[in-house]
Structure 1
Amino acid sequence: MTLPLSGIPPVGIGAASGVAGSLRGTVATEATDGFAAVLASTFDKLQATQSVTAELGVQAATGDLKDVHDYMIASAESGVATEMVVTIKNQAVAAFTEIMRMQI
């Protein structure tokens, strides 16, 4: 029996609120979909996270951003999300390689 994964609810802070929380909830809410659908959804959310970070970075560079901590939080969330997706990809490749090594 497997239990669904549930993430810690995100704390809303500025423009970057809940991005990492939405990535954590991907596995729990889409467990009935196939692995490819979950992976594609995670990549889409990662791209959205990186877009928000890029927009906040431009605003910080031009001086239009009121609170620089919003950019720092978004940057940290983007970094953690990128590391998570890369780790999942590496584990999937390792699992595929191990399956290919199995003898029939």
Structure 2
Amino acid sequence: MTSPISGITSAMSGIPGLGALPGVGDVAGTAATTGTPSTSGADFASILASSVDQLQGMHSTTDALATQAATGDLNDVTDYMIASNEAKLATDTVVTLKNQAVSAFTEIMRMNV
């Protein structure tokens, strides 16, 4: 039997730089990084931009597989179902991260100086 977390881990591995963020550990249970700065030289904006680009690529792949399924050219419909679920999970993750970032920004703006 496969672990249900393995599916989440594989879907989240599609988001580049997610494990490089301080305090964000791997879903599989490895230790999270402490608040040390990243030595890779990548800043948050470039990580976010590449994540959105990869998410767009996942949706393009899903759309192409959906078109193949609709025209009857797709040999195995499970390919489409897997791609669709991966894109949905990645989208949900990005939306959750965005909501948390907006919430944190709102709280920072409410602070008295």
Q: TM-score, normalised by structure 2?
A: 0.69
Residue identity (%): 52
Distance in 1 between residues matched to 2:58 and 2:67, nearest whole Å: 14
- Show structure 1 runs of 4+ deviating over 3 A: 29-32
RMSD: 2.5
Residue 27 of structure 1 and its aligned partner are, at CA, apart by 1.9
Question: Quick one: higher RCO (CA 8 Å, sep 6+), 1 or 2?
Answer: 1
Counterparts in 2 of 1:68 and 1:20: CA distance versus 1, 3 Å: farther
Counterparts in 2 of 1:84 and 1:73: CA distance versus 1, 3 Å: same
Note the residue ranges of structure 2 that are not aligned, 5 or more in a row: 1-5, 22-37
Structure number having the greater helix percentage: 1
Matched, 1:22 2:31: no
**Residue equivalent to 1:97:** 106
**Residue equivalent to 2:81:** 72
Residue 21 of structure 1 and its aligned partner are, at CA, apart by 2.8
Q: TM-score, normalised by structure 1?
A: 0.75
Aligned positions, number: 90
Note the residue ranges of structure 1 that are not aligned, 5 or more in a row: 1-7, 9-17
Does the 8 A contact of 1:19 with 1:77 survive in 2? yes
